[in-house]
Amino acid sequence: MEDTYCVCDIERFLHLKQANVSRHLAWFRARGLVRMKKDFKWVHYTLSNDALKEHKALCDYIRQSDLYHETIDQLQSFEKDACIPETSKKR
């Protein structure tokens, strides 16, 4: 809930097509649930601080679930930014 992910990371992790991921992220962004940061041609998303505060009870509930902990374990071994060339990562 606190980390930032590139669209390509979300696409790979969820096994979804880029267009589908981007469409959903645009919907979330329009409602203030996520914020984006553009880095050259890559876009990184994270949950917005306002959304985390406004939906604190829901976030706390999710953090207690087994699925959340399983997903966190998977994310810890997930290689982020694999789609970004090394030369661009140093920017």
Does some domain include residue 64? yes
**Closest by Cα among 53, 47, 15 to 28:** 47
Does some domain include residue 62? yes
15 vs 2 pLDDT, higher one: 15
Q: Model's pTM, two decimal places?
A: 0.71
Q: At 57, which CATH number? A: 1.10.10.10
Does some domain include residue 56? yes
Does some domain include residue 86? no
**Each residue of 49-86: pLDDT tens digit?**
888 888 889 888 888 888 878 887 887 777 776 676 66
Does some domain include residue 28? yes
Does some domain include residue 87? no
| Confidence check: pLDDT of 27 > 90 | yes
Domain range for 34? 5-80
What is the C-alpha separation between 24 and 53, in angstroms, rounded?
A: 21
User: What's residue 89's pLDDT?
Assistant: 57
Q: How many domains does the chain have?
A: 1
